[in-house]
Amino acid sequence: MHRLNSLEKQTALTLALVFSTRMLGLFMLLPVFALYGTELIGYSPLWIGLAIGAYGLTQAILQIPFGWLSDRIGRHKVMLLGLALFVLGSVVAALADSVYMVTFGRILQGAGAIAGAVLALAADLTRDEQRPKVMAIIGASIGLSFALAMIIGPLMAKWAGLSGVFWFTAVLACCAMLIVAFLVPRSVSKAPAAETLAVPASLMNIAKHRQLLQLDIGVLLLHLMLTAMFVALPLLLSQYQLAADKHWQVYLPVLLASFVLMVPMMIIAMRKQQEKGYFLLAISLLIVAMLMAFLANNLAWLIAALLVFFTGFNFLEASLPALVSRVAPAGQRGSAMGIYSSSQFFGAFIGGVLGGLVAQQFRFAMVFAVLAGIGLIWLLIARNLSVPARAQRLSLPVKLSSEQAARQLADQLAALAGVQEVTILLAEQRCYLKVSASQFDLAQAQTLVGTEQP
């Protein structure tokens, strides 16, 4: 079967709604806080940056622990706990009259780190061959929530003020809790843990993996640049006589046009096997965009800079997790994605702090010059990136009682045509394979696994 069944469709739709409503609440602050935060007690550019990026710190710290917890007490319980923390943080920020309490509220919002639990539940409820489709739907919902946040945030802030933005995010999170409680399917079985969630024993090996480290640094720098940019961007748009509630008229066409430009880049990169070249091109677009924004002396030039930036950003945002999934050793994708997600959120935190510091010490336009320099550093790092061949991932149950039997089976499987990597986890009684689909014979592997005795 090549289509999603009814359970998989329900899983994809409901989890995408949960994920996107939560991310919408987090993103809505980006286009408005630098403008409306000036009315808060204790205002300074540094504290604006801290408040914008604060959620990333707790997200980065708790992303992996919440995933582990969901494996022990259940996905639904962890998702409800995380969303409750998000509601609490939104209410604290909505009632705040100082930038310090808003920052504390953002920290609480970030403490609801449910991404791992959501993706693990998606894996639990989907077949191996359909899982990438479901993950893609959930991933696409994040991009949609960002686009909506750029529109709804300025309009909501104009209508109800900064507190109204936070009250709206609290309502969204409550709706997400109802979706989890009544609509999200409950799993009766768990997907192979090592490919879904971070495994403590493999975290250190993954953290030292050279190629994965490059990608983790990459997503950290990407979200650093995004968050730092929004410390300065709303104020610069206002300087060109564009009212705050009109900013969405810039963001919406820029995001739509950047997506249209990004899609051909993705298609050409894959079809012509030029993924590394286009990856470096996308980073170069970020650098060019930041220099354009720094030198901009009119609104049209700044809008052009945003179009260039988001074209590169969208390409990289789609490419990075796909590369992590391909590079991750067999049986360690969960750990690789856990560290990747933590790096992403930590980048958002650093970006907020850095953007605030630069804006406070110099001027807001200088933020873009600093980000251009950071982009250049990333480009130099990425020059050594090695893009691996596309591979299919499989997991097969085994019945083994000793490490010697596991090693023997691993050697036999590794000798099969098309096998790139073999990992056998005795604790899970499962074998993980990375294979070349065009060369690999699944029946041969199943025969070997099936005849292996404890």
Q: List the CATH number of the domain containing 317.
A: 1.20.1250.20
- The pLDDT score that the predictor gives to residue 359 is 94
Q: Same domain, yes or no, for 74 and 209?
A: no
List 424's β-bridge partners, or say none: 431
Q: Same domain, yes or no, for 36 and 163?
A: yes
Which of 367, 388, 409 is the endpoint of a domain? Answer: 388
Q: Same domain, yes or no, for 63 and 76?
A: yes
Domain count across the chain: 3
Q: Which of 401, 393, 386 is nearest to 422 (CA)?
A: 393
Q: Same domain, yes or no, for 5 and 127?
A: yes
- The pLDDT score that the predictor gives to residue 136 is 82
Q: Same domain, yes or no, for 347 and 417?
A: no
Which regions in the chain score pLDDT beneath 50? 452-454
Q: What is the CATH number of the domain that holds 398?
A: 3.30.70.100
- The pLDDT score that the predictor gives to residue 304 is 97
Q: Same domain, yes or no, for 69 and 95?
A: yes
- The pLDDT score that the predictor gives to residue 192 is 60
pTM: 0.88
What does the CA dihedral 62, 66, 67, 70 come to, rounded to 10 degrees? 180
Q: Same domain, yes or no, for 161 and 217?
A: no
C-alpha to C-alpha distance for 337 and 325, rounded to whole angstroms: 7
Q: Same domain, yes or no, for 298 and 222?
A: yes
- The pLDDT score that the predictor gives to residue 453 is 41
Which of 190, 223, 258 is the endpoint of a domain? Answer: 190
SS3 of the chain: CCCCCHHHHHHHHHHHHHHHHHHHHHHCCCCCHHHHHHHCECCCHHHHHHHHHHHHHHHHHHHHHHHHHHHHHCHHHHHHHHHHHHHHHHHHHHHCCEHHHHHHHHHHHHHCCCHHHHHHHHHHCCCCCCHHHHHHHHHHHHHHHHHHHHHHHHHHHHHHHHHHHHHHHHHHHHHHHHHHHHCCCCCCCCCCHHHHCCCHHHHHHHHCCHHHHHHHHHHHHHHHHHHHHHHHHHHHHHHCCCCHHHCHHHHHHHHHHHHHHHHHHHHHHHHCCCHHHHHHHHHHHHHHHHHHHHHCCCHHHHHHHHHHHHHHHHHHHHHHHHHHHHHCCCCCHHHHHHHHHHHHHHHHHHHHHHHHHHHHHCCCCHHHHHHHHHHHHHHHHHCCCCCCCCCEEEEEECCCCCHHHHHHHHHHHHCCCCEEEEEEECCCCEEEEEECCCCCCHHHHHHHHHHCCC
Which of 173, 190, 207 is the endpoint of a domain? Answer: 190
C-alpha to C-alpha distance for 360 and 27, rounded to whole angstroms: 23
Domain that holds residue 259: 198-388
- The pLDDT score that the predictor gives to residue 142 is 87
Q: Same domain, yes or no, for 279 and 319?
A: yes
Q: Same domain, yes or no, for 160 and 56?
A: yes
Q: Same domain, yes or no, for 337 and 398?
A: no
Q: Same domain, yes or no, for 381 and 399?
A: no
